Amino acid sequence: MRSKLKFKEFYQKYQKRLQLSFLSKEVGLDNIIQISTQSTDSYEAVDYLNVIRPSSVVIIGHQESKYLIELDRTQLVELLTALFSGPVSTMILSRASKLLPQLVKLSNQFNIPLLQSEQDDAELLNNTRYYLSLALADHKLEHGVFVEVFSLGVFIRGESGIGKSELALALISRGHRLIADDVTEFSRVSPDKVDGHSPGILTDFLEIRGLGIVNIRAMFGSNSLKPNKTLRLIIEMVHFNGENNNKFDRLGSTKQNRNILGLDFPQYSIPVAPGRNLAVLVEAATRSHLLEMNGYNASDDFIERQRKAIRESSEKK
């Protein structure tokens, strides 16, 4: 479900980044910033002033300010009254905008926070869009460990106690980086991109059975951690036994996928058994996926070699 963000949370989180200050009274703190999902009244989270299809956060740049100044008082009041009666939750003026007293008065009257930014028009719009795209993205919590291996975001999943955190520790000791342990929060930040990060309290920490909680930053340094990463590959750890011996694809020609937030991601199932070097296997899986991203598939290559050998053998007979 799409997230909603209260204005006071938006202001507290992004006030310094967007260089914001109040022009109106501190009203409308509980106003909701969101994106409409209704086809009949669709609106964006943030955009320049648009009377026909207003956004939840309205940016007043130089041109918008010039347009408002040219209106007579009656026209200005009618426009702002209609605007503030819709989905608008807050209005932000860029550094180049001129302030109208009537704008402040109506903002206070309709409980619409009016802010001033020290950023220019395009910078303010682009930055606000970026921050809100992250804050309002669809999100989901998944149990597992999220690591960066060879620059790719790799999500390691499996049943409790199978050794996910131990595998992550082995990867970190080999120079890879931890993003999240135990629980990973994924957010769909664009139509074709899912981003993962630690939900908070477990950031920097791994829980290792027999050792307890270990601080990765203190043990390996800050370079062993990464705050977030785009998801590219999923590794599923599966207990290896006689019953599931035939369930693993020996050629790798049949790809498994797992859906997270509406997007499919390739998934390798790695059998867990004594003596198997899982860290090396995850590295190999990641390298194999990197090759596939660049157009090379080892199983297709091997199958083609077999076909060629069979064809050559038949021609000799």
The residues annotated as belonging to the active site are 143, 164, 182, 250
For CA atoms 69, 72, 75, 76, give the dihedral sign: positive
For CA atoms 109, 112, 116, 122, give the dihedral sign: negative
Indicate the residue type of 150.
F
Structure token digits, residue 137: 């993205």
**What does DSSP say about strands 114-117 and 138-143: parallel, antiparallel, or unpaired?**
unpaired
Measured between alpha carbons, how far is residue 32 from residues 29, 87, 94, 110, 185 in Å? Answer: 9, 9, 21, 14, 22
The angle, 0 to 180 degrees and rounded to 10, between the axes of the packed helices 164-173 and 278-293 is: 70
- State whether residue 138 is helix, strand or coil: strand
Structure token digits, residue 296: 């090379």
- Adjacent-strand bridge partners of 178: 147, 225
DSSP state for residue 133 in the 8-state scheme: H
How far apart are the C-alpha atoms of 288 and 285, rounded to whole Å?
A: 5
